Structure 1
Amino acid sequence: MIEMFFMCSELFQLLIIYAFADKMIKRRYSQPVTFIGWLLLFILDGVIVLKVNNGILNMVMYYVLMLIILSFLYCSDFQNKIMLVIHIFVYGVLAEFVVYILMSFLGEIKEDMYFLTSALSKIVFSLIVRITIILRKKKDTMNISLKLLLCVFAMPVGTCTGCIIQYFINNGFNDTYLEIVFYLIFIIVNYVSFIMFDTMQQYVIISAENSILEKESEFYYKQCENIQNMWEGLRNLKHDISNQYVCEKLMLQKGEYEELEKHYDDMIGKLRFDEIYSKTGNIKIDSIINYKLTKIAELGAHIICNIKIPKEMKFDNMDMVIIIGNLLDNVMDALKEVQDGKVELNIRYMESNLLLKVSNSYAGNRRKSAKGEYITTKNDKKIHGMGLKSVKRTLEKYNGKLCITEEKNVFSVKLHMCI
């Protein structure tokens, strides 16, 4: 029984150390591989404890093995890994000291308190680690809600208090009020666990959406760069057009008709643009609109485009790219299911106010969720259906408004942004 308790308490502390290392330094391998590495440390430490009957030597070998595990599993500097091991050692000593002081106030420390002091030291150790992680996040300017902060501290504090009360109850202190306090703490800890689960669930959802937004931003930025390079190449080609005429004339004079035909094919390939829909002078916005509408035109859709915006606006160009790109992607998906579709894009900018409306044909009825949000028809629910959510999240930066209407198989999105 004692051996089982010792093994469980050491495993609990090792899991805390594993989580601590993951927060402080960067992993080299995936999470499962890293976890297996830490389990290997746990097994090796158990073997050493059984074979070596020397407490100080066991402790030294444990921290040396920990440093070796950190060196293999994490890609930070060796000095940082040494500092992490030192921190873990100091936190362990500090936890033991805090528990010793706490138990001294309650009376003489007896041998039968071993289980209690061991459990309390592990809980205090986890509390110190949590405080360190929170301070690290605060240093990295991460916002932590007060509710979550209280929950983080309430769990170990409530557990420690409950352990102490339970010890007194087991040793003959049969006080009704003491038992009531114990059960109240038990209820509070469970309630706090529920709050933390709910908070973490919301965090996972927001984290997934932010990850998709970051990928979209990166994708659109690279896409705009590529399109911008294409337009720069076209400008250079137009600039060198006189030299091209000289080459063509020489080929014609020499009768090199096959070479001339090949030359014309190359020129047509470089100059092949169906239509320039946007000519505002804002390269990123022009690029995304021209690229997307050209793709939509390939679906056989009739396009009406009316854009009147200045070359420079107070809005972040990448925000505009995210909004326009997502809306036109949704249009493209809808038009794949209809024949002879129609698209109308209107953008206006007046006195720091931007008005955008995009309408398109679509087939069938769009379903909505209980919250009134449109449900994607794609198979991959996690990736698809995020277009309008991305637009809404970007609009929040400008206190923008979004209005969605559908009538006679025409889906329309209107938005207003202002600075």
Structure 2
Amino acid sequence: MTYFQTTTDAIIFGLEVVLSMIEILFILRLFNKVFGEARINHIKLYAAAAIAMLAITCGLRMILNPVRPAALPPITVLCSMFFLLCYPPNRQKKVLYIGILLTVSYFWILLYDLIVTPIEDKSIWLTLILCHVGFYLLLELIRKTDRGKQWSIPFHLWLLLMAITVASTAALGVMEYYISKREDPYSLTVEIPISLIFLFINLSLFVVFDKFSTLMHTERENTMLEQQVQLQHRYYKELEAAHQQVRALHHDMGNYIRSAEQLAAKQDNNNELIGFLNAASGQLKEIETVISTGNQYLDSILNIKIAEMLHEGVTVETDIHVPSGLKLSFEQAVIIVGNLMDNAREACRELQCGERWVRINLSYINHTLFIRIENSASPIQKWDNGLPVSTKNEPFFHGLGLKNVKKAVDELGTMDVESSNHSFLVRIALYDR
């Protein structure tokens, strides 16, 4: 038997090769979305996949009946498994998605076969094209519904989703067995709605996994946010207590130095001692409270954070006009002002000493507290939901500050974030309700 019986057979085989090569490119495009960018060059990856499909299609053509298509969607999905090694490690998601994708491809072939095969005088060209194009559309549907997040779900939930797709595959085998045992396999059409139901169930598993993983990630993130707030609350309480002790010591030291100056003045030849005491007194006067709004919580956090910035060589400009009776709780001051100041200081740390600056503006107008904090910063490389994403080794932990701020502000007012090549700006309006 020759490799191609007729010219038409050769042309159909060529069409089959082209369609299967396009199909694996669609699958790799889906992988880029759900598993992250491939770790090798895209052109090399796509070229290798196309060559692999060409080799597999030719090999299957030699084994199978030449009249029957050799490279159907399930074969393409199986071939694509070898290229999963080129993507970032996420074993849980890869195993589940390949399992579901295989089940979907098999149900698609069964459904297509049940609908198309009984049709008389059909065009083999058209049926072959529609079979692959229909699967392309399913792949695009899956890609559109996935958020592309590399999150995981608890093992028992993953096992449940795997059990559903395995049970679907078993049901598929049973259906194909009974169809093959009938004298006329296509005499009944009850398998068509059943196949549609199973196809829909398995397509829904992609959405279910995405929803579950998002929910689990949100819960973990909320837990981390709450833990950070608790730690910050304790940290600032301790700092406030230490700040009170420093202020008391500052007051007492001033009294001690003034008393020593008076005693030294009564004795002769104490000019050097008097000069030293005067210098010490002058230094104490310099260690005055930088900010005094009347709200002890706001004052403590601003003074502590400004002192830390000045110590790190950051130029700080302040313009603060708020009433002494400002209603701002300790928790609000910690979460909103404390985190914004920390964020500004972290951004300045990445710059040279002469380039570090922070501008702090607070005003209270018409029962609304306006907070505007701008700082020098490097350009933001990545954003997520309107907030910058940290580029540090553990971005999940380093990105909690602004998320905490946004979460607190959303309950009280509005928040706006802007970034340029050299600065980062946060504007907040808190309504006095």
How does the TM-score come out when normalised to structure 1? 0.49
RCO higher in structure (CA 8 A, sep ≥6): 2
Q: Computing the radius of gyration over CA atoms, which structure comes out larger, 1 or 2?
A: 2
